[in-house]
Amino acid sequence: MVAMACPLQEKPDPSLSYGGPLEIGTHEELDAQYRSSSFLQALPDDVLAVISKFICPRDVCNLSLCCKSLIGFAISNKVWFSQCERLGALKAEDLILWRKSMASYKALCRFLLSVRPLIGMWVHQNPELGNVVYAMWGFLSLVACRIISQELGPQGFNSPLLWAPVFETISESDGSLVFYLHGREIDQDYFYPGSLKPINKDSNVLLFEVEPRRGEIQDFDRITEGKLLQTKSSVNIHMEKVEGERGR
């Protein structure tokens, strides 16, 4: 059995009636909290944008849950533009350009947060066509390309670096992701539909998994000749953390 100590209930003081000093103090605290949220709302948008740089996107969303009067702050485009700048993924002029194809800066921030851990150099475990894969920003997308190995001449590379696309992640207008794996069959280039699982920023290994698709077969455009490709399999990509290694 567990013994629990219960605090003794104090008898009410007859000298304190409803609306007395105790209740007045409580009301004053509530008024102070209300004035604090009102003060935050009264600040200019530019000031709110600067303040928002010191909190993360999740905290901005939580503000609207803890205080209804701050919903306007949590959906402000200037606030979410500051959040996009805070990520440091793109220059301000690129953010403005990308925003024209997005529903809001919040949607743009959602996309940038989702794929930012993929940016950088990765090492392919199969060096047949070059084992270095470089993931970089496209336009409203992230593109990963394999750097194809070349022989060095007397003065270095005899020609520009050769690239081969590996996969591409495109943003929808609401910030959701559309994933495609680039492939080649019978000397033709193809897009293969896929899905991208949530990414942990500490992950350092990319894993590709091919599995049969359920339901109706959808048609996808082939890169060449404009014909349609039908496929019964899809590609899933997810990331995990392996100590002391970064690869794909």
> What is the per-residue pLDDT across 64-104, written as a single tens digit (0 to 9) for each?
787 777 788 888 888 899 999 999 889 999 999 999 999 99
Q: What's the rounded Cα separation, in Å, for the pair 63 and 232?
A: 44
Same domain, residue pair 125 and 182: yes
3-state secondary structure of 146: strand
The residue range of the domain holding 95 is 40-113
* Residue 182 counted as domain residue: yes
Q: How many angstroms separate the CA atoms of 29 and 17, rounded?
A: 19
Residues 235 and 120 in one domain: yes
Does the pLDDT of residue 126 top 50, yes or no?
A: yes
pLDDT greater than 70 at residue 152: no
Residue 58 binned pLDDT confidence (cut-offs 50, 70, 90) = confident
Q: What is the pLDDT of residue 84?
A: 92
Tell me: do 218 and 130 sit in the same domain.
yes
Residues with Cβ within 8 Å of 142's Cβ and at least 6 positions away in sequence, in order, are 115, 118, 119, 135, 136, 168, 169
Both tokens of residue 195?
A: 């899905």
Torsional sign, CA 81, 200, 140, 160: positive
Rounded Cα distance between 158 and 155, Å, is 7
Let me know whether 50 and 128 are in one domain. no
Q: Are residues 180 and 216 in the same domain?
A: yes
Same domain for 80 and 130, yes or no, is no
Is 46:76 a contact under the CB 8 Å cutoff?
no
> Mean pLDDT across the chain, nearest whole number?
70
- Cβ atoms of 248 and 124 closer than 8 Å: yes
Judged against a pLDDT cut of 80, whether residue 136 lies above it is answered with yes
CA distances from residue 147 to 122, 164, 192 in whole angstroms, order as listed = 10, 7, 20
- By the 8 A CB rule, do 115 and 169 touch? yes
Residues 108 and 128 both lie in one domain: no
What was the pLDDT predicted at 189?
A: 74
- Higher-confidence residue of 73 and 224: namely 73
Of 24-28, 54-58, 178-182, the poorest mean pLDDT is in: 24-28
pLDDT of residue 105: 93
Range of lowest pLDDT (25-39, 95-109, 121-135, 182-196): 25-39
Domain boundary among 113, 138, 172: 113
CA-to-CA distance for 55 and 40, rounded, in angstroms? 15
If asked whether residues 183 and 228 sit together in one domain, one would say yes
Specify the number of domains making up the chain. 2
pTM of the model: 0.66
For residue 86, being part of any structural domain is answered with yes
Q: Is residue 248 part of a domain?
A: no
Query: Residue 91: its pLDDT value, please?
Result: 92
- What single-letter DSSP state applies at residue 68? G
Cα–Cα distance measured from residue 133 to residue 246, given in angstroms and rounded to the nearest whole number: 12
Do 135 and 105 share a structural domain?
no
